[in-house]
Structure formats: structure tokens, C-alpha cells
Structure 1
Amino acid sequence: MQATSPLASNDLAGVIVGETALSDVQGDSGSLNYRGTPIADLADKPFLIVVWYLLTGDWPTDAEHQQLAQFMRSQQALNNTEIALLQAVPEGTHPMLVLQGLIPLLNPVEEGPLAPAANQGLAIAAKISALIAALFRKEQGLTAITELPETDFHRRFLFMLRGELPRDDEVATLDTTQILQMEHSFNAGTFAGRVCASTEAPLQSVISASVGTLYGRLHGGADQAALAMAREIGDPAAAAKWVNQRLAQGQKIMGMGHREYRTLDPRAAILKPMALARCTEPNSRKLLDTLVAVEEACQAAFAERGREIHANVEFYKGAVFNSLGIPDHYFTALFAMARVYGYIAHFLEFKQHSRLIRPRAKYIGTVPSQ
């Protein structure tokens, strides 16, 4: 006999699966805060100050900020073993798969400015930036940069990527973008990490599980997909026709709408003006104008149905990264480079009251005959 009453939904929408004091997403009002501070008040602060605040709940003193900066510099360069691991990665492997595979092989230190588990996480976060930069250089036939200048974290990352120090405006853009995507409550990647942590797996495994989840097109991979869409459309004038055809076929427009926000994503409200200000080079501007035209076409199509839709943070982020000279296939890796601090914070929070996560499933298969 076959059961015939499957669950209405497998996505856990609206189901509360835990508690957190790290961030609050209010979808109806379009607000996001980290530990009670609105995202708009965090976006222009120094990056590592926001990292400390997220992990500890306190603002660092100047001395603590300097200790964290020095620790991140000390952990950022790859050692010979890590470079050898990276060299063994097959050519053409996507950066997200490289991160997911190599993070569990890192051996992070416990001594540092915070508690041992937090220091381990910060050391992994520093290494992630170095892995991304070294992989990029490997693709160019260049060697990894291991002699690091005494400067701030993202300036150093861009130096490791390019081999030359970036401009101040480029560093400020990257700081803000990474703060915007540092934490977002029980998103799919974070929840996957909490499930992994509940088994008492080590932090490296937890971060790897989260990074693997982030890779999906319906999660972090939407940033790469959105810019690929703009390249496919090719011109702002072609956007409306392309959008209407996709919607008529019942297909998703990557980067449009958000599962949580019923109004404008507050991160997109900050990121879109940044993209408009940064994308001045002709090719970069054409891509951005195409994205704007896609958003306008989507809004017009949904308005005809009495509905509202807005671009989410992924939609314009690719245009910003593109303006910094970052290739499309590295967009999601830079997302991981920011979201890792949220993964660490959730690991620390969850371990205070850890319990194995083991939900039940409703069986709808064949029932044995009586």
C-alpha cells in the first residue's frame, strides 16, 4: 500500500529550529542587524572591528583591534605544506570546491587575541583569503605571495591577489561589501554548519560543510549567476524581452527577490549605489546597466500581477566585484571569505548549548502488507 499524503513543503519555511543573538532578519520591514546594530551603521566601519563585534558582542578597544589585526596578518600567509596542497589541486577546479576540500586540511592555531576556538576560526578565515589569492595566481601561472606588507586585512588580500597595493577606494569598497555579507541568521550555509557542529565535528569540518552549501546557485552562487545572466543578455535594451520570456517559462531570475525579505534587501540598498558609483569603465557600466534594466523589467512584470520584487544583495555584488577586477568564478569564494565569520560566530554560540540535531521525517513510501 502506498501512502498518499506527502508534506506540503520540504524547505522548513517558517519553522523555528533554534535561537541566536548574532543577527536578526526582519523580512517584512526589510531590516538586518548584527547583535542589535543595524547593518547601515556597520557598513562603513573598519572591517576587523565588525569581526570582533560579531564574535564577542563587544566593541574592541584600540589595543584589541591592533591585536586582532596582527593576529590575522600572522596567519594569512600560506606555509609550504599549504602551497603544496594547493598545487596538487587539478586545473580548472572551481574555487569553492578548492576551499571546501582544503579547509579541513588546515591546522589552525589556538593562541591569539580571543578564546582558543575563536582563534582557530580566525586563523582559518585568514587562510581562506590566502587560498583564494594563491589559487587565482596559480591560474595565471604565478607563484603565491607569502611576504606580506604591514597594512590592513583586505588591502593585503588584494595585494596577494594582484601583486600590487590597491587604491584606498578599492579597499573601502571591499570592506563594505564583505561586512554586508558577513552574517545572515539561519541561512542554508549557516544551518548546515550548525547541524555539522551538533555532531561535535571540528570547526574545520563545520566551515567546510557551510562553504559547500554556500556554493549552490540558490544560495551564494547567485552572485556569479546574476552577472553571467547580464553577459548572456548582452545589452540593456534586450533585458525586458529576456526577462518576460524567462518568466513566461516559469524560470527564476537569479538575484531577484529573497526568501526572507518581502521588501528591499537592506544590503542591496547599500550595494546598488556603490555599484553605480564604481562601474564607470565602459564594459563594466554596460553590464551594470543591463542588471538595472533586468531589475526594472522584473518589477514591471510583477507589478502587473499585483506583486512587488526587488534585487537582493547577490544581484549587484557581482558588478562590484567585477569592477575590482575579480573574475566571475571567484565571486562566491569572496562571499565565503566574508561569511566565514558568521559561521565561526554560530559555532561558538551553538557550542554553549550543543545538542545533536536530529529531525524526524514523515515516511511516505510503501507500507508492508498486513
Structure 2
Amino acid sequence: MSENSSLFSADLAGVVVGETAISDVQGDSGLLSYRGIDINDLIGTPFLHVAWLVIFGDWPTEAEKRNLRTFMCDHARLTHPEQDLLGHVPRDLHPMLMLQGVVPLLQMPEEETLGKGLDAEHGLFIAAKISALIAAHYRLSQNKVILHPTAGKLRHDNFLTMFHGKAPSREQVRMLDAAQILQMEHSFNAGTFAGRVCASTLAPVQSSISASIGTLFGRLHGGADQAALEMAMEIGSPEKAEAYVQECLANKVKIMGMGHREYRTVDPRAKILKPMAMELCTDPESKNLLDTLVAVEAACQKEFGSRGKEIWANVEFYKGAVFHSLGIPTHYFTAMFAMARVFGYVAHFLEFRQDNCLIRPRAAYTGKPTAARDQSAA
């Protein structure tokens, strides 16, 4: 260990690396707000209106609402070249790897139509394409034809129809709207920070979003949603949850979806999502998975409580149960996360570019001492 080792934080925990006006994560009190509005007060608001608020800082006008809805629907229709591009992607490739690779290859619009600048236009264009790419990639993996959005439909109504080939219920659209609003933005999380580092080099927005998507894929970040539900599937039933938790703790195995780096109390998003999951997961398979997750959380709280500690489920823990009840396969969960979080990525890209500076930290060198040069040979 070097003599400078006490001067750095390997995980940057608690280190302030910048300023943002986009979202506020108050970990000690378990609060989250977007642009000064508590997350609880945003549930029930149209998804795209919240996306506009997150990106631009104000609610859209009536004209902006119409233009945004038309823009997102138009660009959620994959062009023939985009379909050909996606057709060359292996059908069994994880959708997160598909998104990370395809996003930088999209042909960006050359003119702006929303009056918010070309970077914002490109960011929203990518956000529209991501929903289409996820649905189309799934359809191709099932040897089914790619479907296109219908003008006038809500964003998630269109998405679920394009994904499954049949119209969802109003309740399913409401649930997906809420889940996606909850995970739209979360300050300087790992994926967002990776995008800001990329943006700091003056790379284009598609490169920044691709970097963020690649970071989100990790099991310790966005991939926890897939891992948590697959854990419930592996456990099998609520009665086996306590033994599973005890075994994990005995072997120092991380229980995916439990605990959060920022929150010292209940994750405010999980507080909203858990009762929603209980309301939506009514079929026998979904209910058993949800009951198993609830039992895992209870067992974790019991075990940690006996050691004088508290632990709570985070948003990824119960989100998987909601997605499963909507018919989304587990390996698409994190792509669904990216479909929402991309609006946060765009917001941070635009914010950072207002006062861009290259992010270039120093490292404490711990290798062999540099050998002295032999001056006599000169």
C-alpha cells in the first residue's frame, strides 16, 4: 500500500465529483426527487411528460407535448436500414449487448424539429429507437415479424403491443409507466457517471449513452433486477427463503436486490413498487415468485437485525416481479431499465456539456520504483 493510499477512495463513496440539478438522492432520509419534485408526486403523470421535465427542467407546454409524442412515435418505427442492421445481430445475444453495440451505429437526424438543440434531438431519437430495438430484437428471437408503433397510442401501450403482438390492458400500461418513471433517473449512479466521463471527452451523445448502457449491464448495477428474480426462481417457494438466506450469509454470497449504496433506509422507489407488484402479480406463477421475494426480504431483515443491522430491498428487487407479470423474459429486464434510464443519461449529457471539462483523475502508483537512468551512457 502506498503512502498516499489514505488520500483516495477506490469506489468514490461519499466523494463529490460534480453538481447536478436533475435529481436529488437523500440516502439518509430515503427521499428521491426529480427537478425538485418528490418521486411519489410524479407517479400517475404521463411518462413522456416526466421525461421532458427530467431532460429540460420544466413541464412541456401543450404544443411541446404534442410534438414530443409525435416525435417519439415516429422514431420508434425502425427504418429498413435499421431493421437490416438488427438482422445481423445474433438472435441469442443479450439485449443489453445488442443495445450497447447498435446505438452508436444509428444514423442521427441532421435537422432538429423540437427546438431544443441537436444534442437533445439526438438523445430523444436514441431513446425512441431503444424501445423499438428491444421489441424488435425480442420478436426476431421468437422468429416473429417486427411490429411498428401506432400513432396516437401512449409510449408503453405501443411498446407492449410491439413486444407481444397484442394490446395490453390499461392496468398493465399504468404499471409499466410507474415502474419506468421510478427508474428514469438517479443522480450520479455508475451508469450515469460513466456517460459523463465519456461526454467529458467531447464524444457524441450516442457514445455517451452506449458507455452508460454497458455499465448498467453489470450485476452490481442494473443487472440486479434479472439476478433477483432468477434467484426467486431458483429458491422455488417462500418456505425455502430463510434457509437460502442463511446459506448465502454463511458463504458470504451477495443477495441480489437487497440493500443500496445510497439509501440507509427504505429505497423510496421500492416503497412504491412493492405494493404495485402485489397488486399486479395475481397469476399463480407470478404470485409465487413475489411471495418468495417477500420471504427473502423478511429473512434478510431477520438475520441482519440479529446482528444489529438494517437492510431493505431496493427498486431492482421487486421490479422484476412486475416485469415478469407483464410477460417480459428475465434477460430483458435490464434492457427495460435502459429504456427508462436513457432519459436520465440524456439529461446529464446536456447538463454536463453546459460547462464541459475533461474528467481525468490521478492514480496512486504502487508498482516498482522507477529505475534511475544511467547518465554515463549518454
- Cα gap change, 1:45/1:362 in structure 2, threshold over 3 Å: closer, same or farther? same
> 1:201 deviation in Å?
0.4
Within 2, Cα distance between the matches of 1:76 and 1:179? 19
Distance in 1 between residues matched to 2:78 and 2:251, nearest whole Å:
47
CA distance, structure 2, for counterparts of residue 269 and residue 147 of structure 1: 32
TM-score normalised according to structure 1 size: 0.97
**1:220-254 deviation per Cα after TM superposition (whole angstroms, max 9, x unaligned):** 00000000100110010000000011011111110
* RMSD of equivalent CA atoms: 1.3
Aligned partners of 1:5 and 1:364 also within 8 Å: no
Query: For residue 71 of structure 1, what is the aligned residue in structure 2?
Result: 71
Unaligned runs of 5+ in 2: 373-378
Give deviations 1:138-178, integer Å, cap 9, x for gaps.
01101111363431111111111111211111111111100
CA distance in 1, matches of 2:123, 2:258: 32
Deviates further, 185-194 or 64-73: 64-73
Corresponding position of 1:303: 305
Between 1:147-156 and 1:99-108, the stretch displaced more is 147-156
Partner amino acid for 1:139?
S
Contact 2:73 2:149 in 1 (8 A): no
Residue 353 of structure 1: SS of its match in structure 2? coil
For residues 106-136 of structure 1, what are the alpha-carbon distances to aligned partners after superposition, in whole Å with 9 as ceiling and x for unaligned? Answer: 1222422232211111111000000000001
Aligned to 1:37: 37
Write out per-residue CA displacement over residues 22-59 of structure 1, whole angstroms, 9 at most, x where no aligned residue: 00000000000001000000121110110111111111
Indicate the residue corresponding to 2:277 in structure 1: 275
Q: How far apart are the structure 1 equivalents of 2:184 and 2:300?
A: 27
Q: How does 1:191-206 map to 2 (within 5 A)?
A: 191-206=193-208
Distance in 1 separating the partners of 2:289 and 2:108: 40
Instruction: Give the structure 1 partner of residue 327 of structure 2.
Output: 325
Aligned to 2:353: 351
Report if aligned partners of 2:27, 2:262 keep a CA contact under 8 Å in 1. yes
Q: Secondary structure at the match of 1:172?
A: helix
CA distance in 1, matches of 2:61, 2:282: 38
The whole-number CA distance in structure 1 between the counterparts of 2:2 and 2:197 is 29
Which residue is 2:113 aligned to? 112
Of the three residues 208, 215, 218, the one matched with 1:216 is 218
Residue in structure 1 matched with residue 54 of structure 2 by the alignment = 54
Asked if structure 2 preserves the Cα contact closer than 8 Å seen for 1:4 and 1:364, the reply is no
Amino acid aligned to 2:251: Q
Q: CA deviation at 1:4?
A: 7.2
Amino acid corresponding to residue 113 of structure 2 in structure 1:
G
SS at match of 1:25: strand
Question: CA contact under 8 A between 1:279 and 1:288: conserved in structure 2?
Answer: yes
In the TM superposition, residue 369 of structure 1 has moved relative to its aligned partner by: 4.9
Mapping of residues 2-41 of structure 1, within 5 Å? 3=2, 6=5, 9-41=9-41
Unpaired runs of 5+ residues, structure 1, are none
- Retained in 2: the 8 A contact 1:3–1:367? no
Pick aligned residue for 2:181 from 179, 182, 198? 179
Tell me which stretches of 4 or more aligned residues in structure 1 moved more than 6 Å.
none
| Matching residue of 1:168 | 170
1:152 aligns with 2:154: yes
Kindly provide the amino acid, as one letter, of the partner of residue 299 in structure 2: A
8 Å Cα contact 1:6/1:364 also seen in 2: no
Write the letter of the residue equivalent to 1:185.
S
Counterpart contact for 2:78–2:148, Cα < 8 Å? yes
Q: With structure 2 as the length reference, what TM-score do the two structures score? A: 0.95
Give the C-alpha shift of residue 6 in structure 1. Answer: 4.5
Which deviates further from its counterpart, 293-302 or 67-76? 67-76
Partner Cα separation in structure 2 for residue 307 and residue 85 of structure 1: 50
Equivalences, count: 369
* Residue-by-residue CA offset, 1:249-303 (whole Å, 9 max, x unaligned): 1111100000000000000000000000000000110000000000000000010
The answer (yes or no) to whether the contact 1:3–1:366 under 8 Å persists in 2 is no
* Conservation of the 8 A alpha-carbon contact between 1:240 and 1:297: yes
Distance apart, 1:5 and its partner CA: 6.7
Structure 1 vs Structure 2: percent identity of aligned residues? 61
Contact 1:230/1:290, CA 8 A, preserved across alignment? yes
- Asked if 1 retains the 8 angstrom alpha-carbon contact of 2:25 and 2:187, the reply is yes
CA distance in 1, matches of 2:67, 2:186: 26
